[in-house]
Amino acid sequence: ITNDDGSIEVITGPYAFATAKEALAKAGFKPEFAELTMKPSTEVELAGEDAARMQKLIDALESLDDVQDVHTNAVLQD
């Protein structure tokens, strides 16, 4: 996937991650970051008050010391 800023995003399965990362490095690409990320198979768009409440929940969860990452299938509209 090519982003508006000219960067690219490579999506692969978790078992092909290391192979893809190595192939890109051999081709001369230097990643800004490389990580395994959970991606939802379906997304839910939220707007207005629903989006604000979801953002408040995400912020509250992220502020907890024991929480490392928060994943959601919500797409928050401004």
Q: How many CB atoms lie within 10 A of CB 3?
A: 8
Query: Would the pLDDT of 1 be above 90?
Result: no
Per-residue pLDDT of 2-49, as tens digits, reads 778 888 888 899 999 999 999 999 999 988 889 888 889 999 999 999
| E strand or H helix at 25 | helix 17-26
Global pTM value: 0.62
pLDDT at 60: 98
Q: Do 28 and 55 have their domain in common?
A: no
Residues 23 and 44 in one domain: no
20 and 46 share a domain? no
Contact 48, 74 (CB under 8 A): no
Are residues 49 and 26 both part of a single domain? Answer: no
Per the structure, the complete domain to which residue 31 belongs is given by: 1-37
Q: Are 55 and 78 part of one and the same domain? A: yes
Number of domains in the chain: 2
